[in-house]
A and B are shown apart, each in its own frame.
Chain A
Amino acid sequence: MPAQNSAAVQERGGRMVGKSVGFERTRRITGYLVGTLERFNNAKRAEEKDRVKHGA
């Protein structure tokens, strides 16, 4: 439970960082890379979600 964790740490006097900071997910569209999925248009988001891995 994140809230409890952070409360526990704060009780011990520790400073917390990272609240509401997301992970960066770099993906390729058309050949270019894009630093974050948030900028993908709806269709490309749907496509990225559908991508399956190809076993070697």
Chain B
Amino acid sequence: MPATIIKRDGTPVAFDATKILNAITKANKAVEGEPMTPTDLLFVTEKVCAKLDARALSHVEEIQDVVEETLIQYDYAKTAKAYILYRAEHAKLRNAESWLMDVYKKLTYAPAASEDLKRENANIDGDTAMGTMLKYGSEGAKFFIDNYVLPKDISAAHQNGDIHIHDKDFYMLTETCCQIDLIPLFKNGFSTGHGHLREPNSIESYSALACIAIQANQNEMHGGQSSPNFDYAMAQGVAKTYAKEYKKAFAAYMQIRGELTDGETASLTKAILDALPMRPRMAEAKAFGCALAALDYARLIPEETPPCGRAAQGQADQDANWEPDDFPKPRRAQMPPAAIRELAIAAHAYAASHAQKSTNRRTYQAMEAFIHNLNTMNSRAGAQVPFSSVNYGTDTSAEGRMAIRNLLLATEAGLGNGETSIFPVQIFKVKSGVNYNPEDPNYDLFKLAMRVSAKRLFPNFSFIDAPFNLAYYHPGDYNTEVAYMGCRTRVLGNVYDPARQVTCGRGNLSFTSLNLPRLGIEAKGDIARFYELLDAMIDLVFRQLLHRFKIQCAKKVRNYPFLMGEGIWLDSGALDRDDRIENVLRHGTLTIGFIGLAETLKALSGRHHGESEEAQKLGLEIIGHIRRRADQKSEETGLNFSVIATPAEGLSGRFVAVDRRRYGVLPGVTDRDYYTNSFHVPVYYPIKAFRKIQIEAPYHALTNAGHITYVELDGDVCGNPEAFETIIRYMHDQGVGYGSVNHPLDRDPICGYVGVIHDVCPRCGRREGEAVSVEKLKELKKIYPDVPDWE
């Protein structure tokens, strides 16, 4: 027998015949009806060794070949088969391991700048420890799902680029996103799983807890988190803050002007405020003052009430605990009721004005903290900040308006050094009768929102008046106002429970996108053939979505202690810890998406929908067809199958790379490094803003799981508020559901300039990477106070 054998990696090790014996024994034990005695086993092993000697073989693969051959030679067919399977299985695992290890090597040793794999998602810093750790987990999970979970044809369809299963690494774990209603969550407080939080009682706590809720939910889902009614929720915190500020100021005024003791102040203030039929509220300051003036102060303050200050404390005052507070003061009982009334009216005037100002200041700080927190809590896997969104704009209460205004102003001011905040995505809800027309109560806030958006890219704008959103709208009920996830996801209709066509507590369960351009290429201009291919692919995606849904349904409330345990997801509050979540999940959406309608149309007809009316007609037919298929599937299953204009990030380059390898460079189809996003007119195609909106708007009505339309403006148009407003209004009037204006937003961190920077910073004159003197920056600071301090 050989002295050494050569392993697969080429290293020599000492030959050990018992390893062959063990392998044959294992294979034999795995089969029935072919028992081998120890003597038989030894016999075969010896025969193998003899052959190795005779043929001078020493490589491990060669040895395994000889084992197979020998088993067959001596009629151990079943054992031989088991041995071959065992070998194949191990080969597969070895391949798997080497494939995965190659990925891990890239993740470990290549910098993100040179390795696209590490920049799949721009919110993850692939160069950091936690960013890399997330990628290790994610790539390992994807491999597991592909090879051990997915039906073979679906796995192949994903791998060869027919479809893209989004968030595949989370396939066995959770759902995409949720619209969180903070109002019921805050009532009576909540638990994050690591500690209980009391019901918040000030705007600062409201904003802090809003961050915590978004963060906690983020760690139980793989997509984004949104507050659909941020203004309504924060309004309650503003109201509580105002009431407290009012009471504090009222009492302070009474004490100082009435020269009362602490005890007298407390009891008198309480007696007066409790006697009123209302609580102090921002919008009702005048009515509150009237009610205060109308009180019967003689009845309110009985003559014989002893002050609870000095007299009650008695001897205690005479010892060392003497406080300046205990100076003899006129007892309030000695004050005639008319004087108390006068004092109270004056105290009210002071308190109302003071509370208004100080609540406004505190609200600004709370909103500023909210934005800062959401940009700096690196608490999502991979040291990412949560993907957060807030929708607002329709609360017309004084408190809601104060929250909106201050959030906008804090956004306009930017972060610590004036940087643009990346999170939360802000979405201003536009609605005629509420904020769209000059006579509407929140029109001023709509104007402010546009001013801020022109500077900071946020807020985006959603349109409740778009017919497909308006259909669900009931005035005054925020739950029927459409809200979007930052990425564009939308949920409102509900075939599972038509009585609950609402926004709050719902979201997407999972989504999978079609490689539409490939179907266009494969159809070779034959439209009927295109639809055949499309239908087959839609069938496959529906099957895959249901496969994933089944896995999701088997989960229990305890798998989601916050999302389900705290009752955030619709109806989950009624479930117990060990209940399956199947029924409540049915409120969510199962979604089919698509990329590259423009390239599809190019492949099918030679022109895209920005170039030709016929192409536009065909484009609408294609997306309309996908939507009809989803609607039919909904009807058939009672589940919310829906269509999304996929927010492709990693996907934008993946399909086209595979297709270019397969079909070569096809002009207008595979000749760029990306497929055009969803139904968008290609970014490279010159077109007027209004025309682009006009072309894209009808697709919003078809994509009921989400959509967005962008317009790219240069700095000049953007700096013109009328032009900006005209574009937003045009989106509204054309039936766009969700839209935004993009404009270049650059910043020089050295001199603090924010705006468009081409090659040279217009403020300090440096080029990228060049140094500038501190002297010069000091000079600039005299003109521009936002120049950072470099000393």
Quick one: closest B residue to A40, CB to CB?
B122
Given known pairs A34-B122, A42-B116, the reply for A47 and B750 (CB within 8 Å) is: no
Please state if B688 and A55 are interface contacts (CB–CB under 8 Å).
Answer: yes
The reply to whether the CB of B656 lies closer than 8 angstroms to some CB of chain A is yes
Other A-B pairs, 5, CB within 8 Å; known A23-B757, A33-B420: A2-B770, A30-B647, A30-B648, A31-B740, A42-B653
A17 neighbours in B (Cβ, 8 Å): 750, 771-774, 777, 790
The reply to whether the CB of B507 lies closer than 8 angstroms to some CB of chain A is no
Please state if B742 and A28 are interface contacts (CB–CB under 8 Å).
Answer: yes
* Chain B 638-668: CB-based contact to A (< 8 A → 1; otherwise 0): 0000000001111011101000000000000
A40 neighbours in B (Cβ, 8 Å): 119, 122
Quick one: closest B residue to A36, CB to CB?
B122
Please state if B122 and A44 are interface contacts (CB–CB under 8 Å).
Answer: yes
Please state if A21 and B119 are interface contacts (CB–CB under 8 Å).
Answer: no
Quick one: closest B residue to A15, CB to CB?
B774
Please state if A35 and B422 are interface contacts (CB–CB under 8 Å).
Answer: yes
B708 neighbours in A (Cβ, 8 Å): 31
Task: List the 9 shortest-distance A-B pairs measured between CB atoms, nearest first.
Answer: A43-B653, A30-B647, A46-B673, A16-B771, A54-B689, A18-B750, A39-B122, A14-B773, A19-B771
- Give complex CA distance A28, B419 in Å: 15
Distance to closest chain A CB from B276 (angstroms): 47
Interface of B is mostly: loop
- Give complex CA distance A36, B569 in Å: 34
The reply to whether the CB of B34 lies closer than 8 angstroms to some CB of chain A is no
Given known pairs A21-B749, A22-B768, A26-B746, the reply for A14 and B774 (CB within 8 Å) is: yes
Please state if B685 and A52 are interface contacts (CB–CB under 8 Å).
Answer: yes
Distance to closest chain B CB from A23 (angstroms): 5
A50 neighbours in B (Cβ, 8 Å): 672, 683-684
- Give complex CA distance A28, B459 in Å: 12
Please state if B692 and A54 are interface contacts (CB–CB under 8 Å).
Answer: yes
Distance to closest chain A CB from B103 (angstroms): 16
- Give complex CA distance A39, B382 in Å: 14
The residues of A with any CB-CB pair to B shorter than 8 Å are 2, 5-6, 9, 14-35, 38-44, 46-47, 50-56
Distance to closest chain A CB from B560 (angstroms): 24
Quick one: closest A residue to B774, CB to CB?
A15
18 A/B residue pairs, CB under 8 Å, sorted by A:
A15-B790, A17-B772, A21-B749, A23-B748, A23-B749, A30-B647, A30-B648, A31-B487, A31-B740, A33-B420, A35-B419, A35-B422, A41-B653, A42-B116, A47-B672, A54-B711, A55-B717, A56-B713
B649 neighbours in A (Cβ, 8 Å): 29-30, 41, 44
Please state if B460 and A22 are interface contacts (CB–CB under 8 Å).
Answer: no
Given known pairs A31-B708, A53-B712, the reply for A23 and B487 (CB within 8 Å) is: no
Please state if A19 and B769 are interface contacts (CB–CB under 8 Å).
Answer: yes
Quick one: closest A residue to B692, CB to CB?
A54
Quick one: closest B residue to A38, CB to CB?
B113
B747 neighbours in A (Cβ, 8 Å): 23-24, 26
Partner of B457, one of A33, A43, A44: A33
The reply to whether the CB of B775 lies closer than 8 angstroms to some CB of chain A is yes
The reply to whether the CB of B766 lies closer than 8 angstroms to some CB of chain A is yes
Given known pairs A14-B773, A41-B650, A56-B726, the reply for A26 and B420 (CB within 8 Å) is: yes
Distance to closest chain A CB from B572 (angstroms): 27
Quick one: closest A residue to B742, CB to CB?
A28
* Chain B 739-755: CB-based contact to A (< 8 A → 1; otherwise 0): 01010111111100000
A39 neighbours in B (Cβ, 8 Å): 112, 119, 122-125
Please state if A18 and B713 are interface contacts (CB–CB under 8 Å).
Answer: no
Please state if B710 and A6 are interface contacts (CB–CB under 8 Å).
Answer: no
Distance to closest chain B CB from A25 (angstroms): 5
Please state if A52 and B689 are interface contacts (CB–CB under 8 Å).
Answer: no
Given known pairs A18-B750, A18-B770, the reply for A34 and B123 (CB within 8 Å) is: yes
B770 neighbours in A (Cβ, 8 Å): 2, 5-6, 18-19
- Give complex CA distance A15, B774 in Å: 6
The reply to whether the CB of B486 lies closer than 8 angstroms to some CB of chain A is yes
- Give complex CA distance A39, B790 in Å: 27
Please state if A21 and B689 are interface contacts (CB–CB under 8 Å).
Answer: no
- Give complex CA distance A55, B544 in Å: 43
A34 neighbours in B (Cβ, 8 Å): 122-123, 422
Quick one: closest B residue to A55, CB to CB?
B688
* Chain B 416-433: CB-based contact to A (< 8 A → 1; otherwise 0): 000110110100000000
Please state if A32 and B119 are interface contacts (CB–CB under 8 Å).
Answer: no
Please state if B684 and A20 are interface contacts (CB–CB under 8 Å).
Answer: no
B761 neighbours in A (Cβ, 8 Å): 23
Distance to closest chain A CB from B695 (angstroms): 12
A56 neighbours in B (Cβ, 8 Å): 688-690, 713, 717, 723, 726-727
Given known pairs A40-B119, A53-B713, the reply for A22 and B653 (CB within 8 Å) is: no
Quick one: closest B residue to A51, CB to CB?
B683
Please state if B775 and A51 are interface contacts (CB–CB under 8 Å).
Answer: no
Please state if A26 and B684 are interface contacts (CB–CB under 8 Å).
Answer: no
Distance to closest chain A CB from B263 (angstroms): 55
Q: Which of A19, A33, A50 counts the most B-chain CB atoms under 10 A from its CB?
A: A33
Please state if A32 and B486 are interface contacts (CB–CB under 8 Å).
Answer: yes
Partner of B387, one of A6, A22, A25, A32: A32
Distance to closest chain A CB from B455 (angstroms): 11
Please state if A28 and B710 are interface contacts (CB–CB under 8 Å).
Answer: yes
Distance to closest chain A CB from B329 (angstroms): 59
The reply to whether the CB of B531 lies closer than 8 angstroms to some CB of chain A is no
A9 neighbours in B (Cβ, 8 Å): 773, 775
Given known pairs A16-B772, A51-B684, A54-B712, the reply for A31 and B647 (CB within 8 Å) is: yes
Distance to closest chain A CB from B656 (angstroms): 7
Q: Which of A22, A27, A30, A42 counts the most B-chain CB atoms under 10 A from its CB?
A: A30
* Chain B 107-121: CB-based contact to A (< 8 A → 1; otherwise 0): 000001100100111
The reply to whether the CB of B458 lies closer than 8 angstroms to some CB of chain A is yes
B143 neighbours in A (Cβ, 8 Å): none
**Contacts of B767-791 to chain A: CB distance below 8 A:** 767-777, 790
- Give complex CA distance A21, B761 in Å: 12
Please state if A31 and B486 are interface contacts (CB–CB under 8 Å).
Answer: yes
Please state if A43 and B766 are interface contacts (CB–CB under 8 Å).
Answer: no
Please state if B652 and A47 are interface contacts (CB–CB under 8 Å).
Answer: yes
Please state if A6 and B683 are interface contacts (CB–CB under 8 Å).
Answer: no
Distance to closest chain A CB from B334 (angstroms): 65
Given known pairs A33-B458, A52-B683, A56-B723, the reply for A16 and B674 (CB within 8 Å) is: no
Please state if A18 and B771 are interface contacts (CB–CB under 8 Å).
Answer: yes
Distance to closest chain B CB from A5 (angstroms): 8
The reply to whether the CB of B687 lies closer than 8 angstroms to some CB of chain A is yes
- Give complex CA distance A42, B117 in Å: 10
Distance to closest chain B CB from A44 (angstroms): 6
Distance to closest chain A CB from B781 (angstroms): 13
- Give complex CA distance A54, B608 in Å: 17
Q: Which of B125, B485, B685, B745 counts the most A-chain CB atoms under 10 A from its CB?
A: B745
Distance to closest chain B CB from A48 (angstroms): 8
Given known pairs A51-B683, A54-B688, A56-B689, the reply for A31 and B771 (CB within 8 Å) is: no
Distance to closest chain A CB from B140 (angstroms): 20
- Give complex CA distance A46, B652 in Å: 10
Q: Which of B654, B761, B773, B774 counts the most A-chain CB atoms under 10 A from its CB?
A: B773
- Give complex CA distance A40, B652 in Å: 11
Please state if B742 and A41 are interface contacts (CB–CB under 8 Å).
Answer: no
Please state if B487 and A32 are interface contacts (CB–CB under 8 Å).
Answer: yes
* Chain B 706-725: CB-based contact to A (< 8 A → 1; otherwise 0): 00101111100100000100
